[in-house]
Amino acid sequence: MHIGSYIGAVSQWKKLQETGECLFFIADLHALTVPQNPKEFPSQVMQTAVEMIAAGLDPEKSIIFVQSEVKEHTELYWLLSTLTPLGELERMTQYKNKSKQFKENINAGLLNYPVLQAADILLYQIDSVPVGEDQKQHLELTRTLAKKFNQKYGETFKIPDALTLKIGAKIMALNDPKKKMSKSQPESCLFLFDEPEVIKKKIMSAVTDTGKAIKYDPDKKPGISNLLAIYSLVGQKPISELEKKFKNKGYGDFKKSLAELLILKFEPFRLKKKELLSREVYIKEILERGRKKAQFIAQATMQDVRKKMGLI
């Protein structure tokens, strides 16, 4: 989990679980759009579960499970794909970008990814989805498919809304602030569970801009603006306050302060992850309990869907 994922999603999830009924899953089916080692993949799934819980998701307040263990995801995915125009998928920005990035592995899963995502969402009759800026287009397709299904077969799915952050929902790469931070390019990422010395090294070497002014201006100063957004969201301080604080200081002082903040804020997460990695049985119990609860909801939705489509 990198800091962009935490700021754009997990930080919101932690607040939502305090006020609403939430479901979170490890998207192992989505991960298969890029090559995975079958021998290592199960442990990676477990590590993702550990990181989600270490970062603040509470299994006593939320449903946490593994996507592939609820078979209704793939069933609804296929049924929704029969309603999805090919042109809608081909125009998806993320598909275009991934196709360029993974030229040797342009599989149908990359193209159909948003349909499975729509199934993930609609299966649970939810009201809203916390998403990063890069996923808003996919959520719009989800809304379109839900409306299309409802019009054709009768009221079935809720139309979900997006929940996004105004600033920092899209954290940019440390080595290229004009590109989104992505774990498929580790050199661009600051990972949530990086060791203190690694955090410091990455922040101090992050790309900034010409000039010395520490000012938020994504167009003219994308590098320092990205770091300001991170500082603001992690430190929970307005960007205007940070601009005043570092008005007469250079990039070096700013970066040093940011690194110290991140090390302090993320230390509890690192310690929690270390503890959970030694409690595999406990993690498996959480995931199994989550699977049962999620499947109960999913089965009810699919029974309705099958009946309306004439499959019962």
Measured CA to CA, the distance from residue 247 to residue 255 in angstroms comes to 14
User: Which two structure tokens, joined as six digits, stand for 257?
Assistant: 């302060």
Q: Cβ–Cβ contacts within 10 Å for residue 247, how many?
A: 10
147 catalytic per annotation: no
- Torsion over CA: 192, 197, 202, 208 (sign): positive
Residue whose token pair is 């809608």? 88
Show contacts of 274-277: CB within 8 Å, 24+ apart.
276/50, 276/53, 276/54, 277/47, 277/50
The catalytically annotated residue of 170, 180, 202, 221 is 180
180 catalytic per annotation: yes
Kindly report the CA angle at 231 between 57 and 265, in degrees rounded to 5? 45
Kindly report the CA angle at 143 between 111 and 3, in degrees rounded to 5? 65
Q: Is residue 245 packed enough to be buried (19+ CB in 10 Å), middle (13-18) or exposed (0-12)?
A: middle
221 catalytic per annotation: no
What ranges in the chain are assigned the alpha helix state H?
Answer: 3-5, 11-19, 28-31, 41-54, 72-81, 86-90, 93-101, 108-122, 136-153, 196-204, 222-235, 239-245, 251-276, 280-308
The catalytically annotated residue of 98, 221, 255, 273 is 98
Q: What is the DSSP string of 11-72?
A: HHHHHHHHHS-EEEEE-HHHHTTS---TTTHHHHHHHHHHHHHHTT--TTTEEEEEGGGSTH
The catalytically annotated residue of 183, 237, 244, 284 is 183
Residues 169 and 181 sit within 8 Å (Cβ to Cβ): no
Measured CA to CA, the distance from residue 263 to residue 252 in angstroms comes to 17
Residues labelled catalytic: 98, 180, 183
